[in-house]
Structure formats: structure tokens, C-alpha cells
Amino acid sequence: MKKIQYIALSVLTVLTATSCNDDFMERAPLDKISDVSFWKSPNDLKLYVNNLYSRNDLLAREDGWGSIGPYGWDADDGSDTEVRYQYNSRMNGESNIPSDGNGWGNDDWLALRDINYFLDHYPAVEALTSFDLVKQYVGEALFFRSIFYFNKLRRFGPLPWASTTVTTSSDVLLAERLPRNQVVDSIMLDLDNAISYLPAREGGAWTGRITKETAMALQARIALYEGTWEKYHAGTEFKAAVNQSTKFLEKAAEVSGTLIALEESKGYPALDNVGVADGYRDLFNREKDEYASSKEVLFFRKTEAGAITTIWDRYAANGSGRGATKNLIDSYLKDDGTPVAASYDDASLQKVATGRDPRLEQTIQINDNKHYRWLAATPPVYFMAPSFDGWDSEESTPTGYQIYKGHNFRYASERPSGQGLQSLIYFRYGETLLIYAEAKAELGTINQDDLDKSINKLRQRLVPPMPDLTMGVATDPNFEFASLTPIIQAVRRERKVELACEGFRVDDIKRWAAAGELIVGKEPVGAKLAQWDGFKFEDYMPLSLPDTARQKIFDERVSLLVVDANGYIKIFKNTLNGGTQGYKFNEDRDYLYPIPTNQLTLNKKLGQNPGW
């Protein structure tokens, strides 16, 4: 029998909340599974693992508005690039220690128990068949365990590790947490095994199941996260016990480099829409199973009318209650590859987008009679002005920079609530290219060839293409980090722009230990408000009202907005610490969530996270 190899680790606390709950511990994972009649065939394993694909705590569903990335709706809320209509209280340091739940409660570990139950029982099927017939499903289970632990790591840092099903007699219930990089070592080993077990797609038919390439993309993502976390949190209370940042960065570069080599040798994965006008925009507005033919989207959640639906594309045309910030807009280079000047003309949406990186006008709405609200309407309906309708509503954009990226405009009007068909991207090759460039830059080994096969491929996708990034990048007054080299800063900016509004930015700020430079004391602002003085509105919610009523609503909403000394919309008016102090993120505490008090009472060896 093929054995899964594990790092020799002490078995430590997993389900402390359940140590006094025998009913839970004796519960069979996944409803209606009977060991007597189950575990007989590879199809039994497939059916079991199918349930993991539908778990929201493993693959976040797009059941909110405004999400096109892997971590569920509004994952970027509270970053420096995207905000909702109310400020993020956690990013303002307002969190408290909960008594229970909050990601560490009873139900928060059910997915792990279900996964480990499978890994404990699949050998029964292997004994009746062969490892070759079961290894795909073993690989999928290991992939999902990696997702589970990575999500917990991002939230809590050091963790317990359990590789078998936890019962009431398990030592894991009374032990301490493992150092974070030991947890990541175990994740890396799980993914090494998963990659060796899973089938490669190699550009073949999409099956809806995890492939070798998808597991590699996840492994590169996690390795980069841990490598940069350990590098930039060294010397703080959040440091790893033993700094292994170089090891993880090398792993990130190796795995992402292997995916790049697969593109060069097999043509898969690869970027979509290269040299296609508006190709970047159209990468993010697909529905149903349209990503099945994509070479760039490695894994996604498809939708199906009447069965698997969302509410997202009901709200995308109306702002989704979120908006891009001026900070993000200013990060896009000019179309000649140089940065915008500190006082460039941004008096209107059209001026903002003129002569800039093409990704800018494909990310935000511009009132240029080219950006659609509804293409199939008669005549087509174009964007005319931001939806300021309701400061506390999903039918609004609080910044004036309304997000276009991900808006599915192919209908005649908004989809009925709960009937949206927008698909959700979990992994795309464009992210892998950025991982490769960042890992090599952080290691100090990046060269021009590395840039040409990563960042410059992303730039050459565009129409017109952006100039190539070179190793001789000059120091830019718009760079955000005082102590970093120009090449690292340029790579970070490329990531900021390419992955804008996809849900990565808050994680990036945390792994770079960058809240002090990007969040603390900063109050995000939006667009210049004066551009809507006297604006005659032609396309505004709610559509059922006559034009005069729509115009009145718009004028009333605009009149309530507040601006800073330079005329930019103060997104939170004066609600964020009086409108004068910016965010109060606590750098000694808020990079991790606290362990709930009930869990510390049940197992004092867990220890609390720094600052709590």
C-alpha cells in the first residue's frame, strides 16, 4: 500500500472546543456515510470528496457581491486600494477577543475532521483495488487540507496539526500550537504528495476537479506567503521561531517556475486574450462553464441556472457597495511606462484614464460611452456616473471610482436576486507569474529573463502593450516602501495593479508587515467630487423612476458627500476617527486574530496571539 509521508511532528491541539462534547467527537463526518457499506470502490471516494468541493470554508462561494477572487466577497475591504461604504473596524484596531467561534470554534474545524476521516479510510478501497485507482481522490483531499490549514494560518498564525481523525482520546486536544513554519512544512509536504497523485490537465478537457497544475498554483501561493511573512516579520512578535524565509521563497520560485516551464513546453497553462482589445476586462466577466476552455483560469466555480447561482451580477452595475481608492488609481503607470506626477490632472474619470496603463480603464468605469452597464439593452446602456445611491447600500460606490472589472454587462438589465451566473476564479496563471517575479526579487536573484517570462508577459497581453519592465527600473517618487530596492517595489506595484480588486491586497499588506506604511494614519479618499457638479444624469438607479426623479436623487446624494482639502471624496466622511486621524491598526496586535477565551480555558497550552 502506498503510504503518504508526513513530517514527524508532535500531535497538538485541534479541537479544544470539543473536548467536553462526546456527541460531536463520535459524529460520523459527512451525513449518511456508513463504514459498513461505504469504502468499497473508487467511486465511493469520489462521492466523499465531492462534498469537500462544496464547502464554503474551503472554497469560498461567490454568494456576496463584488467578489472575483479566491477568498470570498469583499476580501480586499479595508485595504489601501478598495473599500466598502463603511470603514473596516478590524483595520481600525477595534476588534475584541471573542469568547468562542471567530474561526476557532467547534464548527470551524469540521472540514478538517471530514478530510482526515477520508485519509484514514481510503486505504480500505486501495486494498480492494490499487493505489493508481484511488490516488486522484487522495490528492484532492490533501489539496483541501492544505487550503484548510492555509486559511487558518492566515488568520491565527501558529496552529495545531492533525493528520488523522481526532477523537476524545486524542492527545491533540491538550497540547500546544506548532510554530507556523512547521505547519507550512506539513502543508508543503501534503501538496508535494498531492501534486504527485493528481492528474495533469495539460490543456485537455476541463473536468471540474483539482488538477496537478492547480495544486502547484496553491503551493506557490502559500510558499510566497510564508516566505515573505517570515522575512518581513523577523524581529517582531509575529516572527517564526526559526526564520526559514529563504527556503519558502525558493520553493515559491521553484514551483511557479515549473508552471512557467510547462507553458513553454506544453502550452498550458498560459495567459488568455493576449493581444485582444479589452482582453483583460473580459477575463473576469465569464459565467456558467465559460472558463472551461481557458488556459489561464486553472480552477473556478462554475454556475448553472436554477442550481448554482450568485447575487453578484445583480449589484455589479450599481457599485456593489464598494469602490477603488485614489491610492489604487495613482498606482497605474502612464502608457509609456513612467509614473504619473504627483499633481497630474485627475479632474475627471476620462482624464484619469487618458494615456495610462490599459488595465486602468478596464478596471474602473469611465463615462466615455464605451463602458457598458447593459450591452443587450435596446439601445445599449453605458455607464454615465457612479452610483451614489445610498451611502449604506450595495447599490452604491462610495469612492466615485466604480469597479468595472468583473462586471458582466452582457444582459439587458440586472439579474434577479439570487439568479446570477457569474463564475468565480480561484486560481489563474497571471497570479503565478507574479509569484515567480516576487519570489525571485525577494531572493535577490531576479534577472531580465525572469522579468520577460513573468511580468512582461502580463504587460504584453494588453492592447496596446505596456513597455517592458527592466532591471534598470529607476527610483520612483510614487514607490510606497522607503527601504526596499526599486525592483522589489516595481514588482509589488505590478502585483497591485494586475490583481486589483481580486481579494489579495489585505493579505499582501499583512505578509509584508506593511500596515505601518500603507494603513496606519491613512484615510482613504476617492475621486474629485467637482466633476459631478451640475452633472445631468442619464443613467442612474432606480430605473423605475422618471428621469427627473433620478436626477433629483443623484443631486441629493452628491450634495451629501464630503471632500478633503484637495477636493477628493472623503469616503467615510468623518466617521473614521473623526476624519482626521486615519486608521488605527495596531501593528503589535492586528496582523493576527485572537484565540477565543473559551479555547484558552479548555487548553491553556494554546497561548494567545501577540498583543491580545
Reply yes or no on whether the pLDDT at 30 is more than 70.
no
In the prediction, which pLDDT does 19 show? 33
In the prediction, which pLDDT does 517 show? 97
Q: Are strands 82-84 and 322-324 parallel, antiparallel or unpaired?
A: antiparallel
Q: What is the arithmetic mean of pLDDT over 66-95?
A: 83
CA 463, distance to chain mean position in Å, is 26
Nearest Cα residue to 302 out of 310, 411, 414: 310
Mean pLDDT is lowest, of 61-75, 421-435, 465-479, for 61-75
Following DSSP, what letter does each residue of 497-545 receive, concatenated? HHTTTSS-HHHHHHHTT-HHHHTBT---EEEEGGGGTT---SS-S-TTS
Reply yes or no on whether the pLDDT at 7 is more than 50.
no
pLDDT in tens, 539-588: 555 555 666 777 888 888 899 999 999 999 999 988 999 999 999 999 99
Total length of the chain? 612
In the prediction, which pLDDT does 539 show? 55
Chain-wide mean pLDDT for the chain? 90
What type of residue is 166? V
Report, in this order, helix, strand and coil percent for the chain, each rounded to 5: 40, 5, 55
The 3-state DSSP class for residue 228 equals: helix
In the prediction, which pLDDT does 10 show? 27
Cis peptide bond upstream of 269, omega within 30? yes
State the CB neighbour count (10 A cutoff) for residue 463. Answer: 14
The grid cell for 500 is 486589483
What type of residue is 295? K
What type of residue is 579? G
Q: What is the arithmetic mean of pLDDT over 277-290?
A: 96
Nearest Cα residue to 584 out of 124, 95, 236: 95
Please give the backbone phi and psi of residue 583, each rounded to the nearest 5 degrees, phi first. -70, 145
Mean pLDDT is lowest, of 1-15, 141-155, 253-267, 386-400, for 1-15
> 530 vs 74, which has greater pLDDT?
530
The grid cell for 577 is 476617527
Q: What is the arithmetic mean of pLDDT over 212-234?
A: 98
Confidence of residue 74 (pLDDT cuts 50, 70, 90): low
Give yes or no for a contact between 367 and 385, defined as CB atoms under 8 angstroms apart: yes
Q: Which H or E run includes 381? A: strand 381-382
Q: What is the arithmetic mean of pLDDT over 47-71?
A: 79
What distance in Å separates the CA atoms of residue 571 and residue 385, rounded to the nearest whole number? 17
> 222 vs 305, which has greater pLDDT?
222
Please give the backbone phi and psi of residue 419, each rounded to the nearest 5 degrees, phi first. -120, 15
What distance in Å separates the CA atoms of residue 322 and residue 82, rounded to the nearest whole number? 7
Confidence of residue 31 (pLDDT cuts 50, 70, 90): low
What distance in Å separates the CA atoms of residue 550 and residue 107, rounded to the nearest whole number? 46
What distance separates the 2 farthest-apart alpha carbons in the chain? Answer: 76
In the prediction, which pLDDT does 221 show? 98
Give yes or no for a contact between 319 and 365, defined as CB atoms under 8 angstroms apart: no
Predicted structure pTM score: 0.93
Q: What is the arithmetic mean of pLDDT over 424-440?
A: 97
| Number of separate helices (H) and strands (E) present in the chain | 20, 8
What type of residue is 501? C
In the prediction, which pLDDT does 223 show? 98
Q: What is the arithmetic mean of pLDDT over 303-325?
A: 86
What distance in Å separates the CA atoms of residue 491 and residue 440, rounded to the nearest whole number? 10
The fraction of the chain above a pLDDT of 90, given in percent, is 75
Report angle CA 572, 86, 423 to the nearest 5 degrees.
Answer: 130
pLDDT in tens, 337-374: 999 999 999 999 999 999 999 999 999 999 999 999 99
The 3-state DSSP class for residue 550 equals: helix
Q: Which residues pair with 297 in a beta bridge?
A: 428
